[in-house]
Amino acid sequence: MLKTLSTLLTIALLLPSSASAAAADDFFKGKTIRVVVGFSAGGGFDTYARAIARHMSRHIPGQPPIIVENMTGAGSLISANHMFKVAKPDGLTIGHFIGGLFLGQVLGQPGVEFDGRKFEFIGAPITDHVVCALTKASGITSVEKWMASKTPVKMGGIAPGTSTPDNATRILKAALGLPIQLVTGYKGTADVRLAAESGEVAGGCWGWDSVKTTWRKAIESGDAVVVLQANRKNHPELPQIPQAIKLAKTEDARRIIDVGIHADSDIVRTYTLPPGTPRDRVQTLRKAFDDTLKDAEFLADAKKSNLSVVPVSVEEIERDINALFKLDPGLVAKLKDLLYN
């Protein structure tokens, strides 16, 4: 009798998850999933999204095809607002906009029409490691030459409020006293890269995993040079490149670098669902995303494309975003003035 009751209880406990899986299977079959990337084609965000899209379908019940769409503007703010206000919360639209916008919300960035705490996250493929790369033609091939420049060095940006390249560039200018003229308004890092190659700007500051992939030939030939990095630890591939925080001369400068650049490195490349997406579909897509980042075919594809994969969990993302809303008001005011005025 007890054995029978135990068996029935086990079946009862399994039924909800089985029903949920079946519901997800029924829903996704025959549908198409869109990944809305907030930057132009050819940049790091776009490159990662397309690599993931090529493999993630296999891990979703019903194997729906996945397409990538680029929705540029305002440093991906347009796409972030779209995900919050317009995209249907049905699991068929995944957003990939820059995580610096979550800090932008805390700082009262104009144009932010979302609440980052209400999004559903499915993960991130990599922690961002900010570097500043400049062309050899600019004459800035080391941070010492940059510091000694008698004229401001033109650095490419996208829009105020984006953690890279605009925020990082503004923070490094203020914290280290680097001579910089920020030229902003490009649609993505691919456009910044092209501007640097044409001589419009000297370079830009954004994630190393994007730089080494999308600017690979120039980095390997020496036509583009990484002169500075900004993270809590040196990247293993850049052991000799100076750390920004070690060049800061005051505690205030170090604090600005740590909060403004280091602290959001885990949330820069999040993949996001609209608020209100059904829980079973959120869980299905989280599992599919995790499984994709472990998939042998995807990892081989990523290696071929020179993409690093160091997954960031949903729990880490949610923790870091919640921490932004607990920042000291004095620091918030200082960052707001620095990044937007």
Q: What are the tens digits of pLDDT across the range 218-251? A: 999 999 999 999 998 899 999 999 999 999 999 9
Q: Is residue 9 part of a domain?
A: no
Together in a domain, 139 and 209: yes
pLDDT average, residue stretch 305-311: 91
Calpha distance 170→336 (Å, rounded): 11
Q: Is residue 121 part of a domain?
A: yes
Place of tokens 């890269």: 193
Together in a domain, 108 and 164: no
Q: Is residue 8 part of a domain?
A: no
Residues 105-132 have pLDDT tens digits of: 999 999 999 999 999 999 999 999 999 9
Residue 160: band (very low, low, confident or very high) from pLDDT cuts 50, 70, 90: confident
Residue 170: band (very low, low, confident or very high) from pLDDT cuts 50, 70, 90: very high
Domain termination residue (choose one: 262, 291, 308): 262
pLDDT at 22: 58
pLDDT at 163: 62
Residue 159: band (very low, low, confident or very high) from pLDDT cuts 50, 70, 90: confident
Nearest to 331 by CA among 339, 319, 341: 339
Alpha carbon 300 to its chain centroid, in Å, reads: 22
Calpha distance 193→170 (Å, rounded): 18
Domain extent for 243: 130-262
Alpha carbon 154 to its chain centroid, in Å, reads: 24
Q: Is residue 204 part of a domain?
A: yes
Together in a domain, 155 and 273: no
pTM for the full model? 0.83
Tell whether the model's pLDDT for residue 89 goes beyond 90: yes
Q: Is residue 174 part of a domain?
A: yes
Lowest mean pLDDT among 7-16, 53-62, 85-94, 222-231: 7-16
Q: What total of structural domains would you count in the chain?
A: 2
Tell whether the model's pLDDT for residue 188 goes beyond 60: yes
139 secondary structure, DSSP code: T
Calpha distance 98→83 (Å, rounded): 13
Query: What CATH number is attached to the domain comprising 177?
Result: 3.40.190.10
Q: Is residue 7 part of a domain?
A: no
Whether 108 contacts 336, CB under 8 Å: yes
Mean pLDDT of the chain: 92
Q: Is residue 201 part of a domain?
A: yes
Residue 160 corresponds to which tokens in the numbers above?
């105020």
